[in-house]
Amino acid sequence: MTQVGQFRSAGELGAGFHADVIAPLVGEAGYAAGLLGWGSDVLGYDTERSTDHGWGPRIVVLVDEQDVEQVRRRVEAGLPDEYEGHAVRFGWDEHEPTHHVTVATLGDWLQRHLGFDASRGIGYDDWLVTPQQQLLGVVAGRVYADDGRLAAVREALAWYPDQLWRWMLACQWSRIAQEEAFVQRTHEVGDEAGSRVVTARLVRDVMRLAFLQSRTYAPYTKWLGTAFARLSHPDGLDQALADALAAPDFTDRERALVTAYELVARRHNALGITAELDPSPRPYFSRPAMVLDAGRFVQACLATVTDERVRSFGLIGSIDQFADNTDVLSNPEAYRRLVPLYR
């Protein structure tokens, strides 16, 4: 095994594995290959800690249908038991950590990973029920070879269609509008635990709003903060949210949150997709609570959604905006059952 201080990411390890092992075994067949699918290594977040279970030179090889069986046989027969001290296994299930090498057609692999074949087109239903982590599994990983088939689908999945994006922004602002006054109200009745929980929920919602504003997919929970930190925050949004989470009392908690609200409001104005809105916090009716009144941003975004089908979805949002159960978000068979929500 790799010794302490000698860690190489799975992406780097896979590059050597592809060149030394996979490419010679594939032979003359046209193909694409890369570190794709589920996991920290696909996102480039793996560390030495990641190597304690099921970690290794993972790679997906995509070939034409007529070449699948021949390439599978050659690859399975020619794989070494280990590569640079890491076990190598051949298989199909990307969620099975001992299966490091997969050979499939692009369509079959997309169907298995996303729940639909994105190379044949992407409908609104597909966009809305597919978790962003699953989309990242296609667009974020290292690519070691590509005859063009993978680049095309990665480009198609790079970001949401404009009308869906505007609608999702409205839905995310709506989540903030629904709870921004609860931080004060829970504190007022002596529920400090509740006030802190609402604060944490709002921090996460602001983070997710920042991802949408940056046109960047958000990863699953373990890496949400890491990915957020890697976004650009010259305005100090990251510090404002950190202050909200660390605040010892309600006064500091509210001050940090309204600072964050004003910053994402200014980011919204900078997008130029609606008329400019006043980013200043204001009282919540006659209560001693300061809010942004995020509903203003909801309505402004919705006003730019001209696609009647998208408007008909209401404000439920895409799957990541209303679900956070891993057994749903990581299982295409489960989340595809939600398609009727958008019909």
Buried residues in 61-80 as b, exposed as e (16+ CB within 10 A) = bbbeeebbeebbebbeeebe
Tokens encoding 282: 């204001």
pTM of the model: 0.94
Taking only the tens of pLDDT, the chain with its 343 residues reads 444 458 888 899 999 999 999 999 999 999 999 999 988 899 999 888 887 777 778 899 999 999 999 999 999 999 999 999 888 888 866 555 555 899 999 999 999 999 999 999 999 999 999 999 999 999 999 999 999 999 999 999 999 999 999 999 999 999 999 999 999 999 999 999 999 999 999 999 999 999 999 999 999 999 999 999 999 999 999 999 999 999 999 999 999 999 999 999 999 999 999 999 999 999 999 999 999 999 999 999 999 999 999 999 999 999 999 999 999 999 999 999 999 999 8
H-helix or E-strand containing 63? Answer: strand 59-63
The per-residue pLDDT for 85 is: 87
Compute the distance between CA of residue 297 and CA of residue 284 in angstroms, rounded to an integer. Answer: 16
By the 8 A CB rule, do 40 and 219 touch? no
The per-residue pLDDT for 6 is: 81
